[in-house]
Chains A and B, each alone.
Chain A
Amino acid sequence: MSLLVASIGFGLVTASILAVAAVGFTLQFGVTNILNLAFGDVMTASAFVAYIATSNGVNIWLAVALCALFGAAFSALLNRFLYTPFVRHGTKLFGMIVVTIAVSLIIQNALQAIYGASFFSLKFSAGSSYHIGSMVFTTSQVGIMAIAVVAMLGVYSLLKFSKLGKAMRATASDPVLARSCGIATDRVIDVAWLLSGALCGIAGVALAMNVTSFTSTTGGTFLIAIVAAAVLGGVGQAYGAMLGALTIGICSEVAAGVIAPSYKQVVAFVVLVLVLLIRPQGILSEVADQKEVAA
């Protein structure tokens, strides 16, 4: 029983990281219709930025902010100078997937060419531990969860209450109509990629903080869980992704604790398969239905 509770504790940390990543991933799809499979690798790149920063004595929380900036800039530039030109050039759905996978390979192997295929760990102190029942959290884990909660509340209020969020949702549902209503869709898309890129960067550092060591493929493997969370919630749905992340984060850590550690990724996969069989458009499916991703 205490093992189960402890696993749920780990699950909450994983879910926080996953939520940040999945919301970023799903926002990119929602606003620009691109399933960016290079997302995990941009996360890895951010983790390396944090590695360089912390190795040079930068405080870990400052490094998180740095990575948010890096992720935002990198993703926005990627979209502006690679993805958008390809879309304008007439590259269709499948072609765009090839583009994103090509980018993923390029980033992953560029990192490997520069840093080699060895293991890296961030240099920071995990801080003192807190016990809540049989759950144990280190200060850094509490920090990760706090950042995730703040980020999620921020995204929620942005989409719900701000004019920019409204413009984003309008662009997501019909870019042509949005443009003719006077919304500067190009700028809205840039902002959306900056925002999702920042989430991507934060998730990258948080992932590197949570695992003991990372390699140039860590983010790519984490993509399984991100995709599962996004698909479970209905791809393109920010709130759905939060829900999906919570489900998958906790389920995978409980499976890892109760069955065996190697089942962590498998749970995400099983959830994905079940969703595809039963309800391929996800739980909250407005956006997915509209974009006809699945029927």
Chain B
Amino acid sequence: MSVAWQFYFSTLLIYLAVNVMAVWGLNLQFGVAGISSFAFIVFQAAGAYTAGVLTLGPSTNASFQQYVGGANLPFPLPVIAAGLVGGLLAGLVGLVGIRRLRTDYQAMVMLVISLTATYLADNQTNVVNGPAGLSLVPKPLEGGLGLSTISYQWFYVGLAAAFCVIIYWFVRRYTNSPLGRATRAVRDNEQAAAALGKNVFGLRMIAFVAGGVIAGISGAVFVEFIGAWSPGSWLYPETFVLFTAILVGGTGNNVGVAVGALLVPIGFLESTRFLPNIGYPGFVDALQWIAVGVLALIFLWFWPRGVIPERKRRFPHPGEKPVGLAALRLLRLRR
């Protein structure tokens, strides 16, 4: 493979890893807990800004970008901090947004939160450098390893994959645990879950904050790689792309949504990269957004449960003999 292709594929893989992490986070909030989290991209943005600022070092009057809270932390720390900030912000948004709101009403409120956050970041020029955003964020360990540019690319692919593995382990544990089961119960029938003594708000909040942490980490992994982050990179349609990925993949299914992330943000948006440049700059982008919108409509109409639907979990009644797969699983457990 020529160097240019290697460069292209490794970059694509890193984008994929970031998107897969993001859809797992969103799936936890929306697919598992049933929260219409249309502000998701804000948590990713918060993570990206945090990681960027903590890697860039203190902002001085002489430097060309103005931001708050700069520091020079060594590699894993900015990512961890990004996760914490993402979770914290999700907690704050959750206090307003996760009340007993009808799902469409909630989506509208979250969307307004997202719009306002972008507006604020754009207009408060001294917090995260306004519309220009952060740039020249140094890549982690780049100097210390002494790798060539292309080897570093593959090193970063490994790094992003490692984060993916950790997060997959986490979301799998989460969704298969009693906690995940209770959260799904809240999603499917809030009143019934409450009647069984489940803390509806608490369960939703835990899923929401966990999703926020994952979003923050995904943003950090992204910004440490591309080195720049501005309000233009996290407009609300980006959340819509992730939602489309979840709808296409299969709401609530961790494997399904990962496939969705492969198909929609990567496959769909990247496939047009090799089109000849028609029209003015930005013309193809506009067409892409239109296509994403149409794709979401098509899937909602024909396959609302996605290509790999959530597995319907069956539990035997007490006293009832388990049948089929459930019996097999129980047998395996007993052994």
Contacts and interface: CB of A to CB of B under 8 A. Distances in A.
Q: Please name the 10 residue pairs, one residue from A and one from B, whose CB atoms are nearest each other, closest first.
A: A262-B123, A102-B293, A113-B286, A109-B289, A109-B286, A93-B104, A105-B293, A269-B116, A106-B293, A97-B107
Given A95-B300, A294-B99, 13 more contacts: A95-B304, A97-B103, A98-B247, A108-B289, A112-B282, A116-B282, A221-B119, A223-B112, A223-B115, A262-B119, A265-B116, A269-B113, A273-B96
B36 A294 contact: no
Interface residues of B, number: 45
Contacts of B101: 276, 280, 293-294
Nearest to A274: B96
Contacts of A106: 289-290, 293-294
Contact of A98 (B97, B120, B243, B282): B243
A194 interface: no
A123 interface: no
A120 interface: no
A99 B300 contact: yes
Given A35-B104, A37-B108, A224-B116, A276 B99 contact: yes
If over half of B's interface residues share one DSSP class (helix, strand or loop), that class is named, otherwise mixed; here it is helix
A295 B124 CA distance: 34
Contacts of B113: 269
A95 B247 CA distance: 10
Given A266-B119, A294-B102, A35 B108 contact: yes
Interface size for chain A: under 10, 10 to 19, 20 to 34, or 35 or more residues?
35 or more
B330 interface: no
A224 to B, nearest CB: 5
Interface in B63-81: none
Contacts, number: 128
A269 B97 CA distance: 13
Interface of B: 36, 38, 95-97, 99-105, 107-109, 111-113, 115-116, 119-120, 123-124, 237, 240, 243, 247, 279-280, 282-283, 285-287, 289-290, 292-294, 296-297, 300-301, 304
Interface of A: 35, 37, 86, 89, 91-99, 101-103, 105-106, 108-110, 112-113, 116-117, 220-221, 223-224, 227-228, 231, 235, 262, 265-266, 269, 272-273, 276-277, 280, 291-295
6 contacts: A37-B108, A91-B301, A113-B286, A227-B109, A269-B112, A277-B96
